[in-house]
Every structure is written in C-alpha cells, then in structure tokens.
Amino acid sequence: MRKNAFIFTMLMVAFSLSAQYQLPKLAYSYSALEPYIDSATMYIHYNNHHGAYTKNLNDALAKYPELQKKPINELFANMDQIPEDIKTSVRNNGGGYYNHVLFWELLSPASQSLMSPYVEAELKKAFGSLDKFKAEFEKAATTRFGSGWAWLIKEKNGAYRIVSTANQDNTLMSINKAQGHPVLALDVWEHAYYLKYQSKRAEYVKNFWKIVNWKKVEELMKK
C-alpha cells in the first residue's frame, strides 16, 4: 500500500514537472476579499474552476510539445495555427487559465484598494470622468449575455477601450474582434458570484470597485 502511494506521488510530481501551466499562488487568503467576494466562492472558483482550466489546458497541449514551449500569448495571437483537435480546448481552457491568473492579480483586499493619481488621470483622460468610466465598464459587465468577461483594454495605438467577451475568450486571441492587452478584467460567469449574489450580477459588479488592485492596473497601463 505504501509502495503504491509512493509511486502515485512520484507520478504526480513527474506530471507537475512536465506540465507547463500551474495554478498560481494567490497573494491573499480565500477570505481576504470578504464581504464582497465570499471565501466559499473564492475557494471553489480558484481550486475547482481555475484548477480544471489549468489541468485541461495541460492535457490538451500534452501531445504537442512544440506548442507547450510557446508563451500562451503567442498561442492566442495565432489561433489559426493551433491544430484543429485542440483548438477549442486551447480557446476555452487556455483562456480560462490566463483570464483567471490575471483576475486574481487584479483583486486585492478592500483596505489596499487605492487608485493612484496616475491611474485616475489616465481614466479621466480616456473617459471624461471616473463615473463615466465605471458606468461604461459596469454596462459591459452587466449586459454580457450568459458567461463571459468585461475588460478595460489598451489598444496598440495606446487608446483605452471597454469591451466584453463571451465564455473564456479574451482580447489577445486572434479570433476576437476587439484587440488589445487587458488592463482590468471582471469575471461575470455565474460561478464567480452566484453563491453570494444569486441572480444579482449588478450588485457583484458594483462591489468589484471596492476590491480592485489598482497597483496592478497601473502596471498594466504602463506595459
């Protein structure tokens, strides 16, 4: 029995070493975003949902070692070159993996959620006022039908734009009409809020403003 357990552990270690994508460590505890995002939702969202996207992405790429070595941005930028048998999986699970890595980084405990003068100036310049920016972002998040994401993106020409995408698509994917690197992201899948908010997505979206990691937003704006 012990020997079997040892072999199993070694196999798991070997698998995790060969798998390129790993669940990132969270910078805060499951309860750190309370009361805006509850710890049960955080636990399930991170371990079960993000965990599954990560595993499924690694499984899809396992038979294409040359794709495994490429940065995920490169896969997204050339979706037409991904083999047909794994294209949907890379789109859904690769998107799910990447989007959630970013999402966790864009959240922070409310006590640390402070907008810097730089971010404030950039948003005011682009949208006229913070209220207008927030209203447009909230609209994108609440009107996305079904599952998806709301984004603030920076386009190649440096302009900021608010868009939403379906499912796990993002604006780095060559299949997406809106193109640009994400600066802010909000997961509006039901799994992100339903335990606490049930059908009140708008309330979840409003509370998002209390736990944005604006330092990360600034870093992405300057990228």
Distance CA 179, CA 92 (A): 18
Nearest distance from residue 96's CB to Fe ion, in Å? 7
* Closer CB to Fe ion, 31 or 92, in the complex: 92
Of residues 148 and 180, the one with the C-beta less far from Fe ion: 148
Total residues at interface with Fe ion (CB under 5 A): 3
Q: Rounded distance, CA 19 to CA 7, Å?
A: 18
Sheet holding 181-187, edge to edge: 160-166, 148-154, 181-187
By beta-carbon proximity to Fe ion, the closer residue of 138 and 187 is 187
What angle (nearest 5°) sits at the alpha carbon of residue 43, between those of residues 15 and 24?
45
| Shortest distance (Å) from residue 187 CB to Fe ion | 4
CB neighbours (10 Å) of residue 96?
22
Nearer to Fe ion, 106 or 119 (CB): 106
- In the region spanning residues 128 to 187, those forming contacts with Fe ion, defined by CB under 5 A, are 187
Q: Which residue is nearest to Fe ion (CB)?
A: 187
Chain center to CA of 12: 26
Q: In angstroms, what is the minimal distance from the CB of 103 to Fe ion? A: 7
- Provide the minimum distance between the beta carbon of 140 and Fe ion in the complex, in angstroms, as a whole number: 16
Distance separating alpha carbons of residues 4 and 18, to the nearest angstrom: 21
Binding residues for Fe ion restricted to 55-84, rule: CB under 5 A: none
Taking the C-alpha atoms of residue 73 and residue 124, their distance in angstroms, rounded to an integer, is: 29
Is 189 a binding residue for Fe ion by CB under 5 A? The answer is yes
Query: Residue 23 and residue 53: Cα distance in Å, rounded?
Result: 9
Q: What is the closest distance, in whole angstroms, from the C-beta atom of residue 89 to Fe ion in the complex?
A: 17
Binding site for Fe ion (CB under 5 A): 187, 189, 192
